[in-house]
Structure 1
Amino acid sequence: MRAITIREPGGPDVLEWSEVPDPEPGPGEVLVEVAAAAVNRADLLQRQGNYDPPPGASPHPGLECSGTVAAVGPAVIGWAVGDQVCALLSGGGYAERVVVPTGQLLPVPDGVELVTAAALPEVVCTVWSNLFRVPGMRAAGLRPGETVLIHGGASGIGTMAIQLARAVGARVAVTAGGPAKLAACAELGAEILIDYREQDFVEELRNATDGRGADVVLDIIGAKYLPDNVRALATGGRLVVIGMQGGVKGELNLGALLAKRASVSATSLRGRPAGEKAEIVTAVREHVWPLIGAGRVRPVVDSTFPLRRAADAHRALEESGHVGKLLLVRD
């Protein structure tokens, strides 16, 4: 088969459309014929040599895909050849075929086209496992009536987080760059719109909440925003860091955190054990798939690229002009 490989760490041009060995499903796994894969910031980090796949994972980039089950391994129950699926991956989505543990497999939701479904698994699992409760796992536990601040509201994570937060009855504040992106966030349900290029998000949030701040902050930036995120928290607030676009080392004011009785947590999805991923996928299928089927939540896709042109998609993601997800589609 063919897959996108990384010749060496570097820019988008190191991505190559190469002949590689076909994967074989083992016990509890299925082989998926890929229709589309989504592009994530983690893929850029992997391409640059800064985010290696977990042990045993495919070396090829791609953390989510959609497609059709082409073969099933031993001891697989509930899935059959021909099923249309989407999948949370530890790697390997930028390929014609990929092996997936059944615990990370989801049916394509009602009302969603097969290709578009590639935009769902990684963002939905990330948002649900960080904003809402999955048994036995740490999460913000966002509740109806609370205010959540979502940084990067126009990103793939952001567009999904806005919709899910609104679906549970939370009030949504977002940061985004420019009027067009903020308008897209408002259309999805965000009420407090902050242009991070022109406005101080802490001041704007306080003005909009009568000085209270956010009960939950979902942050993809990391170190650069750490002090201001703590300032933005309400008493008893929860800061959840899921990205490092603004650096990995920041200064944390413990006095401010103590005064607010607030908490800071940081999580990632790719490196979680298979059992934890399966629990998250199960919760997503139970709680989020009905919302998608009912039309209350939808995948937001900005644009698509041929799979063999993954380098162009990486350039587009780095330029940050998109709203929602970028997809790679099989020719």
Structure 2
Amino acid sequence: MKGLYCRAATTDAEPKFLIRETSLPEVLGSHLVRVQVKACGLSPLDLKLLDDVGIQRDLIPVGREVAGVVLRVGAKVSFFQPEDEVVGILPLDSPCSGLCDAIDIDEHYLVQKPEKLSSVCAAGALRDGLAAYTALHTLARVAAGHTLLVMDGASSFGLMCIQLACYHGVKVFTTSHSPQQHAFLEQLRPSVAKVIPVFKGPSDLLPAVLEETGGLGVDIAIDSGVRLQEEESEAAKLLPHKHDIISVLGVGGHWVTSHKDLQLDPPDCRSLYLKSASMSFLNHEVWTASTAQQGRYLHILKDVVEKMSAGVLRPQPEEAVPLYEATVAMETVQRHQKRKAVVRL
């Protein structure tokens, strides 16, 4: 049996992805479930995060969002039986690569997959659905009647945020990064109240939001990264400046950021203070890095897959690639040339 692994570079060179032979023990742990993997989602590896939490290995397993069928269950497993269809995210310290034919995973990291939901769709969208749920419910405490600004709404994460917010009666504004994205997001109206094109100029964001909110600003802003300085790379020019995000917040507003190295200067903090506004960091791995709220985590996973099955959440379809293209696909994802890839096994 083969799996995909990453050998982290010791210098500034890019990490290497390679296929390695692996095997499973004959004896299955009492709380473990052996799953035959049908599809696996590939997301960029955060090697710095792994180092921060003390996970240091020569070969790091790749592919953690999995969907498959239960083959065997441990003696004390109570949630699943053989032939059950399941979906879940492998923990950070999992020794298994999700791109193996079969994996062993603790039952408390899995939920039942609805029959109408395809394995490819579940594995490809589970991580973004979990992040959207975390940003809106866990961090921002979204409620009906709130106003929400989602940056880069055409991304897989942004689209999940928009759909989940609209389901709960939230007035949504979003930004587009290209004419093609703008045309796609305009199709979501009237669910989306306003699509703001920032590819013409980032300065259009603040006046557009204030015009739509009567000068009050939004209750919640969610970004996918921000600029810390005015002059940055070409790729960062489409990202909002941190001052723009703070400026569009209303009194008592909440900013959810994915920028892991965000730095706020005293004037930024002063602006947040004057608005009694707050901010949170969205760490995609927080649920699997700690088991303190395992029950809530499983409830979120179950709700995400049920909403995808019911059509409330409609992720952008990812074209599944075969296993022999997994190494090339992961290299592309890691270089951020593509945000997501799904491998069909």
TM-score (norm 1): 0.83
AA at the equivalent of 1:159: L
1:180 aligns with 180
Are 2:251 and 1:251 equivalent residues in the alignment?
Answer: no
Offset from partner CA, 1:190-237 (integer Å, 9 cap, x none): 332123322332232222222222211112204534322111211111
In structure 1, how many angstroms separate the alpha carbons of the residues matched to 2:245 and 2:127? 24
1:52 aligns with 50
- Alpha carbons 2:7, 2:60 under 8 Å: kept: no
In structure 2, how many angstroms separate the alpha carbons of the residues matched to 1:107 and 1:239? 33
Shift of 1:105: 1.0
What are the equivalent positions in structure 2 for 1:225-240 lying under 5 Å apart? 225-240=241-256
Structure 1 residues 18 and 206: CA distance shift in structure 2, 3 A: same
SS of the residue corresponding to residue 128 of structure 2 reads helix
SS of the residue corresponding to residue 68 of structure 2 reads strand
Of 63-72 and 87-96, the range deviating more from structure 2:
87-96
AA at the equivalent of 1:254: C
- Alpha carbons 2:126, 2:304 under 8 Å: kept: no
AA at the equivalent of 1:70: L
2:145 aligns with 145
- Alpha carbons 2:4, 2:63 under 8 Å: kept: no
In structure 2, how many angstroms separate the alpha carbons of the residues matched to 1:262 and 1:284? 29
In structure 1, how many angstroms separate the alpha carbons of the residues matched to 2:84 and 2:14? 33
SS of the residue corresponding to residue 257 of structure 1 reads helix
- Alpha carbons 1:205, 1:213 under 8 Å: kept: yes
Are 2:209 and 1:205 equivalent residues in the alignment?
Answer: yes
In structure 1, how many angstroms separate the alpha carbons of the residues matched to 2:264 and 2:35? 41
CA RMSD of aligned residues (A): 2.8
In structure 2, how many angstroms separate the alpha carbons of the residues matched to 1:318 and 1:204? 34
1:40 aligns with 43
1:102 aligns with 107
Shift of 1:289: 4.2
- Alpha carbons 1:155, 1:325 under 8 Å: kept: no
In structure 2, how many angstroms separate the alpha carbons of the residues matched to 1:223 and 1:93? 34
1:281 aligns with 298
2:17 aligns with 15
Structure 1 residues 13 and 213: CA distance shift in structure 2, 3 A: same
Are 2:121 and 1:116 equivalent residues in the alignment?
Answer: yes
Q: Percent identity of the aligned residues?
A: 22
1:192 aligns with 194
List alignment gaps of at least 5 residues for structure 1: 134-138
Match 2:219 to one of 207, 215, 221:
215
Shift of 1:270: 1.8
TM-score (norm 2): 0.80
List alignment gaps of at least 5 residues for structure 2: 229-240
In structure 1, how many angstroms separate the alpha carbons of the residues matched to 2:103 and 2:291? 16
AA at the equivalent of 2:175: T
Are 2:277 and 1:262 equivalent residues in the alignment?
Answer: yes
SS of the residue corresponding to residue 321 of structure 2 reads strand
1:162 aligns with 162
SS of the residue corresponding to residue 134 of structure 2 reads helix
SS of the residue corresponding to residue 182 of structure 1 reads helix
SS of the residue corresponding to residue 157 of structure 2 reads helix
Over alpha carbons, which structure has the higher Rg? 2
AA at the equivalent of 1:71: R
In structure 1, how many angstroms separate the alpha carbons of the residues matched to 2:334 and 2:157? 15
AA at the equivalent of 1:192: K
Shift of 1:2: 1.1
Q: How many equivalent pairs are there?
A: 316
Offset from partner CA, 1:65-111 (integer Å, 9 cap, x none): 11111222231102012211110222432333333222221222342
